[in-house]
Amino acid sequence: MTAGTGGKATKGNVGLSALIISAGLITGYLVSQAAALAALCAAAIALAFLWRKPTLGVGLWMVLVAVIPSWWTIRVGLEIGVATIVGIPLAVVILLSANRATAFAKADLWFCLFAITAIITTRFFETPLYATRDVIVIWLVAYLLGRLAGRSANAIVAVVGVGCGLWSILEFAFGLHVFESSSAVDYWASIQTRGSYERSEASFGHAIALGATLALSVPFVMQLRRFRGLCLVILALGTLATFSRGPMLAFGLSMLLNIFASHRIRFKTLPMAGLAVVGVAYWYTVDALQADETAGNQLNGSDAYRGLTFARTVETLNPIGLADGTVYNPITQKTSYSGITTVDNAPLLIALRFGWIPALILVILLIVLSWRVISRVATAPAAIALVAQIPVLLTAALLTQWQVFVLFAAGVAVTEMADPPEKPVTDGSIKQPQQPECEPRAQTAL
C-alpha cells in the first residue's frame, strides 16, 4: 500500500468508524442502555471469531438474514432482529481491522443526510420511532456492511440467492411452509395465495420480498464461473414460485441489463439469457391475462388498490415529516395514511413517513445510478441489481429481509463504482480489475 493510498484509506476508515459509532450513540439515545450492552456483548463474540476472517463473517451474517425471519426479534427498548444484532458488531470488527481500506464516497454523504433527516423528523415532526429505527439499525447497518464488503461479497450474494431459490422451489413443490404460523402477527403467519396456488415465501414472510431478493441475485450469479446456467434456472423457477409480477419483471430486467452491460456475449450465454427472459415474460403475460378467475380478481384488486393509495395520499405529503391524516392504532399496531393501511410503493411510503424531500434524496440517487448503468459507466453486478429492482420498488414497500439485501447491495454498488472500471470479457460476465502484485490490499474491501 502506498503512502498516499494508505493515508486516504486510514482517513476513510476513521470516517466510517465515526459514522458507525455515531449510529450506535444515536441508537442508544433512541432505544436504551440495554441495546448498547447487547451490542457490546455481540461485538466481543465477533471480535474473537471474525477478526481475521471478515469475509466469512459477512457470509454468515447474510445466511442468518436469509434464514431467520425478520419478526424473530429481541426487545431492547425497541424490537431488533438478527440483521442488527449480528450486523453492528460485525461492522465494528471490520472497521477496526488494520488492513481495511474503504474511503468515503459522495453517495455516503447523501445517505447520511437522509439518515440525519429521518432522525430530525422523529424528534420534531412526529415520524414514528419504528420508522427511524429501520433506517438507523437496519438500513444503515446493511449499507455499511455492503460498503465494507465490496465486490468480495459478489459470490456470497450469488450463493445465498441460489439457496433461497432452491428453498422457494421446494416450498412450492411440497407445500412445506416452514415458518407458517410462526408469528403472532397474522399478516406474517399466513401464507399468501394466487388463485388456487400457495405462493412461496421461505423465511421472508411475503412472496414479493422473496421474489425480489431472488431477482436481485441474478447479476451476481452471472459472475459465477461454474454452474451459471443451472443457478439462473433455479433463480427463475424460484421467482416463478412466488407468483409475484414485480419480481418477475425485475428478473427479466436484470438479465437484459447484464447483457447490455457486456460488450461481447458468448454464443452459449445469449440463448440461455434469452430463454430465461422469454420464460419470465410468458409467465407474466399468462398471469396478467387472468387465466385463473380468482387470480385475475386478485390482480385487478391489487392494481386498483395501488391506484387508490396514490390518489389518496399524494396530496397529504409534507416536505419534512409525517404526512397529514396519519393515524397509528396501538391495538392493531398499524399506521393508517388517510385511511390506507398498506402502501405498496417504497418511495411513496418513505415520503409519507419522513417527507417528500428525504424521499427525493433516495430517488435522485437511484436515477443517477440508472443513468450510469444505461450509459455503461456502472457495469458491476450490484449496480445492475439495484436498477433492476425499480419495478418492485414501485409496487411494494421495503419489507422484511428484502430491505436488508437492497441496502447491502447499495453499499456494494458504491464500493464497486469507487474501484477502477471493469473490463468486459467474452462470456457475458464482467471481468474484475487485477490488483497490482506489489499492492495486494490497496483497493480490496475485504
pLDDT one-digit tens code per residue, 192-235: 877 777 888 888 988 999 999 999 999 999 888 888 888 998 99
| Alpha-carbon torsion angle 303, 306, 312, 315, nearest 10 | -120
What percent of the chain clears pLDDT 90, i.e. is strictly above it?
26
Cell of 82: 438478527
Contact by Cβ (8 Å): 88, 24 = yes
Q: Which three cell numbers stand for residue 64?
A: 442468518
**Average pLDDT over the chain, rounded to whole?**
76
Span of 14-28, 92-106, 256-270 with lowest mean pLDDT: 14-28
Share of the chain above pLDDT 70, in %: 68
Task: Convert the pLDDT of each residue in 12-29 to its tens digit.
Answer: 444 444 444 455 545 544
pLDDT for position 301: 56
Q: How confident is the model at residue 43 (pLDDT cuts 50, 70, 90)?
A: low
Q: Are 162 and 233 in contact (CB under 8 A)?
A: no
* pLDDT on residue 219: 93
3-17, 130-144, 303-317, 381-395: least confidently modelled range: 3-17
pLDDT band for position 1 (cuts 50, 70, 90) = very low
Examine the pLDDT at 430 and tell me if it is beyond 80.
no
How many whole angstroms separate alpha carbon 260 and alpha carbon 269?
Answer: 13
pLDDT digits (tens, 9 = 90+) for 135-158: 988 999 999 999 988 888 889 999
Q: For the residues 145-173, what does the mean pLDDT come to?
A: 91
3-state class (DSSP) for residue 94? helix
188-197: which pairs have CB atoms within 8 A and are 24 or more residues apart? 188/69, 188/71, 188/400, 194/243, 194/287, 194/292, 194/295, 194/298, 195/292, 195/293, 195/294, 195/295, 195/296, 195/298, 196/292, 196/294, 196/295, 197/172, 197/243, 197/292, 197/295
Residue 340 phi/psi, 5° resolution? -100, 120
Q: Region 30-41: what's the mean pLDDT?
A: 51
The pLDDT, as a whole number, for residue 17 is 44
Q: Is 291's pLDDT higher than 90?
A: no
Q: Range with the lowest mean pLDDT among 38-52, 88-102, 113-127?
A: 38-52
333: left (phi over 0), alpha (psi -120 to 50) or beta: left
d(CA 140, CA 282): 38
- pLDDT bin (cut points 50, 70, 90) of residue 78 is confident
Of 24-28, 56-60, 179-183, 237-241, the poorest mean pLDDT is in 24-28
Region 243-266: what's the mean pLDDT?
A: 80
pLDDT of residue 183: 57
pLDDT of residue 51: 57
pLDDT at 6 over 50: no
Domain boundaries, the chain: 104-431
> Looking at residues 240-265, what average pLDDT do you find?
82
The pLDDT score that the predictor gives to residue 52 is: 61
What pTM, to 2 d.p., does this model score? 0.80
The per-residue pLDDT for 436 is 42
d(CA 374, CA 325): 39
